[in-house]
């Protein structure tokens, strides 16, 4: 039996769509509400997933490789550079797996003889990997926002507590924990070569080995909990930083009439450099919140309205929301380079030094 799942996670829709494609299910029918046809949903998937996500994803991989190069040249004297390096690695993981995943929605590739595997087998391998890296990105962003907030509240104490060693161990722990928990999914299926009835071609299929349901429940409950908790933490601590920045603006406005204050006093207790760093983290967090919002909302809505699922009455709407959420996830993993360049003078200087035709001396 080929793998198919009825859970509400965004990647599940891709797996069910893949199985339908493998079985040549008609695509012109509408859902039972008559509001959205399967053909319309598939067209949305092709445009958002196969085309836009692929183009943005390729550019995002290049952008994150540049980020890694800049951070490596800057060094890791600051703990934030360690966290941002880990974030870039996770984003590359999201984008690379998603580029391969988007191949599943490319009609040209699907009809070519170069296809050596069923759509569902590729979806299973790449979809879960992409979701795994997305969870890691959320956890790292949550760690960065929490660290910045704590540095605002008790800077000296936190700097002694969150050292380069502590941050490095935290990043390793996040990667190891999420990957190990998510890899449970792969122990519930087997990959094997089998001949297609319609095309008489031998392709790689994915089969249920009898352990899928039990392993899926564990991985999904853990993964969905990670997604929701990290999202809530990012929202909460980002809100705190926004409130602090507003207080800082009021402080600077009230003290602008007096002379002789230090930069730190004019920033309401934050140095100019610290304030800029907080603003940069806020922008990164807001981008994550906006891009993750539809996916989290879809996850919550599906738990409240069971028909909003891959096998339910509103399956096509579920697919459209999944496509939008997936595109936003790709955008989130691709645009940080613009935030760094526009808001970090040290990043901008190192960037120009690397890519200048006549680089300045160290």
User: Mind listing the pLDDT tens digit of every residue in the chain (362 residues)?
Assistant: 344 333 334 444 444 444 444 444 444 444 544 477 777 888 888 888 888 999 999 999 999 999 999 999 999 988 999 999 999 999 999 999 988 888 776 766 766 666 677 767 777 777 788 888 999 999 999 999 999 888 888 877 888 888 999 999 999 999 999 998 888 777 777 777 777 777 777 777 777 766 667 667 777 777 778 888 998 999 999 998 888 878 776 766 666 555 544 545 444 456 677 778 888 999 999 999 998 888 778 777 777 877 776 667 777 887 788 888 889 999 999 999 999 999 998 999 999 998 885 555 44
Q: How far is CA 283 from the centre of its chain?
A: 15
List of residues 6+ apart from 354 with CB closer than 8 A:
69, 70, 73
* Tokens, residue 8: 């509400």
CA dist list (Å): 293 to 92, 141, 234, 284, 322: 21, 15, 12, 14, 11
β-strand pairing of 189-195 with 202-208: antiparallel
CA distance 239 to 188: 40
Which is the CATH superfamily of the domain at 10-25+36-253+262-354?
Answer: Rhodopsin 7-helix transmembrane proteins (1.20.1070.10)
Among the residues of the chain, which ranges form H helices?
Answer: 10-22, 38-45, 54-74, 79-102, 107-110, 119-153, 155-161, 164-182, 212-255, 263-266, 272-304, 315-332, 336-343, 345-355
pLDDT value, residue 90: 96
Contacts of 272 (CB under 8 A, 6+ apart): 263, 264
Q: Can you give the pLDDT at residue 16?
A: 43
Residue 266 vs residues 257, 259, 317, 359: alpha-carbon distances, Å: 11, 10, 51, 35
Cβ–Cβ < 8 Å for 255, 265: yes
pLDDT of residue 47: 87
Closest CA to 337 of 324, 351, 349, 354: 351
């Amino acid at each position: 039996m080929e793998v198919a799942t009825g859970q509400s996670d965004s990647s599940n829709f891709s797996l069910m769509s893949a199985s339908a494609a493998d079985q040549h299910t008609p695509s012109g029918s509408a859902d039972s509400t008559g509001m959205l046809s399967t053909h319309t949903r598939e067209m949305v998937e092709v445009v958002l997933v196969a085309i836009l996500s692929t183009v943005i994803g390729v550019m995002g991989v290049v952008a994150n490789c540049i980020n890694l190069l800049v951070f490596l040249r800057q060094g890791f004297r600051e703990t934030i550079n360690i966290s941002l390096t880990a974030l870039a690695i996770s984003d590359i993981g999201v984008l690379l797996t998603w580029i391969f995943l988007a191949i599943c929605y490319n009609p040209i590739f699907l009809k070519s003889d170069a296809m050596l595997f069923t759509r569902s087998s590729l979806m299973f391998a790449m979809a879960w990997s992409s979701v795994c890296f997305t969870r890691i990105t959320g956890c790292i962003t949550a760690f960065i926002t929490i660290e910045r907030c704590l540095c605002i509240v008790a800077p000296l104490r936190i700097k002694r507590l969150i050292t380069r060693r502590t941050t490095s161990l935290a990043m390793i722990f996040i990667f190891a924990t999420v990957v190990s928990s998510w890899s449970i999914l792969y122990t519930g299926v087997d990959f094997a070569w089998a001949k297609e009835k319609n095309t008489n071609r031998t392709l790689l299929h994915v089969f249920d080995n009898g352990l899928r349901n039990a392993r899926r429940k564990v991985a999904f409950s853990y993964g969905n909990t990670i997604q929701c908790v990290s999202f809530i933490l990012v929202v909460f601590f980002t809100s705190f930083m926004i409130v602090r920045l507003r207080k800082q603006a009021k402080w600077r406005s009230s003290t602008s009439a007096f002379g002789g204050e230090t930069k730190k006093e004019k920033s309401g207790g934050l140095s100019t450099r610290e304030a800029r760093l907080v603003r940069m983290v806020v922008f990164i967090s807001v981008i994550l919140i906006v891009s993750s919002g539809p996916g989290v909302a879809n996850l919550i809505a599906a738990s409240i309205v069971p028909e909003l699922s891959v096998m339910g009455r509103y399956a096509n709407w579920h697919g459209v929301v999944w496509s939008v959420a997936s595109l936003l996830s790709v955008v989130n993993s691709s645009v940080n380079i613009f935030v760094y360049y526009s808001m970090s003078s040290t990043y901008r200087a190192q960037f120009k030094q690397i890519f200048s035709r006549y680089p300045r001396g160290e």
